[in-house]
């Protein structure tokens, strides 16, 4: 299984390496715009939970990016599947479905961490110095990336065209990116909305990533929820690989 996993992972990483300059540039654009528009423009005038808005924003951006960049593997899989038909090479080879999913999920997590290091670097340039060097912070990112990478692989296997993939992203990722406590505190929403939003994995991720970045110990239940969701979606992703055979 290790050979198969590593072959799938290596392929994604080699492709990432081939376009690394473009990738870094494209991963820098959105956080830079968010930092300028919401952070720099508002500066220290807005205070949220005792922190300047830009300090509140950076961990939110980290949570959101760990979701969007890991979910982005679905586009790579779809290009390989529908356009280059490279997915057939994996399907015809003697590797297990688990090895395939593991390779894609690991590649997605790697992409997410690359994007996050870019955000942390940009934050540093903007003068934000938070408490990043702790296991709670990176554990939250890892689990959140794991959840959304697994969702991405499962959806990439279920869709029938690249257009369907974009459609799903609009309905799954975009609402979570804005509502999951990334840009504003969830407790300012009406009660009914809070109940709904607390069901989303991104809400738990944003909460633990922010708390740990502020030097506090996050609620461990959120890690447990992310872990359980990750395992469920990982299992689903394995099931859907077999379903992708027509």
Which stretches of the chain bind another protein, using CB under 8 A?
3-4, 6-7, 10-11, 14-15, 18-19, 84-86, 88-96, 245-246
d(CA 112, CA 144) in angstroms, rounded, equals 10
229: how many CB neighbours lie within 10 A of its CB?
Answer: 20
8 Å CB contact between 56 and 210: yes
**CB nearer another protein, residue 84 or residue 178:** 84
Decide whether 55 or 76 has the Cβ nearer to another protein.
76
Cβ 48 to another protein shortest distance, Å: 43
Least distance from another protein to the Cβ atom of residue 151, Å: 25
Q: Least Å distance between CB 74 and another protein?
A: 18
Q: Which is nearer to another protein, 30 or 91 (CB)?
A: 91
Q: How far is the CB of 242 from another protein (least distance, A)?
A: 9
Cβ-based nearer residue to another protein, 156 or 225: 156
Nearer to another protein, 96 or 221 (CB): 96
Cβ-count burial 16-46 (b if 16+ within 10 Å, e if not): eeeeeeebeeebeebbbebbeebbeeeeeee
Question: Which stretch of DSSP H or E encloses residue 52?
Answer: strand 51-52
In this complex, which beta carbon is closest to another protein, that of residue 60 or of residue 103? 103
Q: How far is the CB of 14 from another protein (least distance, A)?
A: 6
| Dist. CA 109–CA 136, nearest whole Å | 17
Distances (CA, A) of 216 to 168, 187, 208: 35, 18, 9
Buried b (16+ CB within 10 A) or exposed e, 56-78: bbbbbbbbbbbbbbbbbbbebbb
- Smallest separation, CB 246 to another protein (Å): 5
C-alpha count within 13 angstroms, C-beta hemisphere, residue 128: 26
């Amino acid at each position: 299984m290790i050979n198969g996993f590593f072959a799938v992972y290596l392929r994604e990483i080699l492709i990432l390496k081939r376009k690394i300059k473009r990738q870094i540039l494209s991963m820098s654009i959105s956080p830079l715009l968010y930092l300028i528009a919401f952070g720099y423009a508002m500066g220290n005038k807005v205070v949220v939970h005792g922190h300047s808005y830009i300090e509140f924003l950076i961990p939110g951006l980290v949570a959101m990016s760990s979701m969007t960049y890991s979910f982005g593997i679905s586009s790579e899989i779809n290009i390989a599947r529908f356009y280059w038909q490279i997915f057939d090479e994996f399907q015809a080879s003697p590797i297990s479905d688990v090895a395939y999913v593991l390779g894609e999920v690991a590649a997605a997590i790697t992409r997410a961490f690359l994007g996050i290091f870019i955000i942390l670097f940009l934050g540093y340039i903007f003068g934000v110095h938070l408490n990043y060097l702790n296991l709670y912070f990176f554990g939250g990112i890892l689990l959140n990336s794991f959840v959304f990478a697994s969702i991405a692989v499962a959806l990439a296997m279920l869709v029938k065209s690249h257009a369907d993939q974009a459609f799903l992203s609009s309905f799954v990722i975009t609402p979570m990116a804005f509502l999951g406590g990334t840009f504003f505190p969830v407790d300012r929403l009406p009660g009914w909305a809070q109940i709904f939003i607390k069901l989303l994995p991104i809400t738990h991720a944003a909460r633990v990533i922010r708390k740990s970045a502020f030097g506090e110990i996050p609620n461990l239940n959120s890690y447990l929820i992310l872990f359980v969701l990750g395992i469920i979606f990982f299992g689903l992703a394995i099931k859907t690989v077999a379903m992708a055979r027509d």
